[in-house]
Chains A and B, each alone.
Chain A
């Protein structure tokens, strides 16, 4: 089992460009999450998907969209990147919502110039 995988590992964008971060899990988990990590701020939830076909906003959803393509895959899209979106992005999955343990991918380091 690979667990949670993310692509790409690194990305540099110019302001206004768009891109999609990919995430996949092979643990048959129902719930998936996108977080961003900024220095001194811990991780903050951007969007989550309780189950296939549903998505909900987290703490910091502005400037992002998500797609739960199927049970395995959950993508995060930046339509018009801004320097404030420079961050490390983590995808996570869990068997269900609420108290189930979340398992994290290795992260995508995004820089917006």
Chain B
């Protein structure tokens, strides 16, 4: 079945780069997403990557996709305290419209 795995916690210092990792099992995924959830709020779409791409850059965010290893990462450059949140990766595919979410990685940014 489908499964998406993430590590639960990451702590970095302000100004450093953060790298959040995700592995997935469904090779038929067509899009892979990163969502951000701030405390008490809903999920906000950060970025996504189509499965035939290797990399996507969007300002401070870089998404890398290794299809062979089914590994997705989100790099946040110059991490700020406002980036502290839970980050979810999710995969979707053309069957039923489901998004399969990872457990979420809680990013803590220390000044």
Residues in chain B near residue A96, CB distance under 8 A: 97
How far apart are A90's CB and chain B's nearest CB, in angstroms? 6
Chain A contact-residue range equals 20 to 34
Main DSSP-derived SS at the A contact region: loop
* Bound form: Cα–Cα A44–B101 in Å: 7
Chain B contact-residue range equals 20 to 34
Residues in chain A near residue B30, CB distance under 8 A: 98-99
Taking a contact as CB atoms under 8 Å apart, the answer to whether B102 and A98 are in contact is no
- Tell yes or no: B77 within 8 A of A by CB: no
Taking a contact as CB atoms under 8 Å apart, the answer to whether A58 and B98 are in contact is yes
Can you list 13 A-B pairs, Cβ within 8 angstroms, ordered by A?
Answer: A42-B88, A42-B103, A43-B88, A43-B90, A90-B43, A92-B43, A98-B97, A99-B93, A100-B97, A101-B48, A102-B45, A103-B45, A104-B43
Interface of A toward B, CB cutoff 8 Å: 4, 31, 33, 40-45, 48, 50, 56, 58-59, 90, 92, 94, 96-107
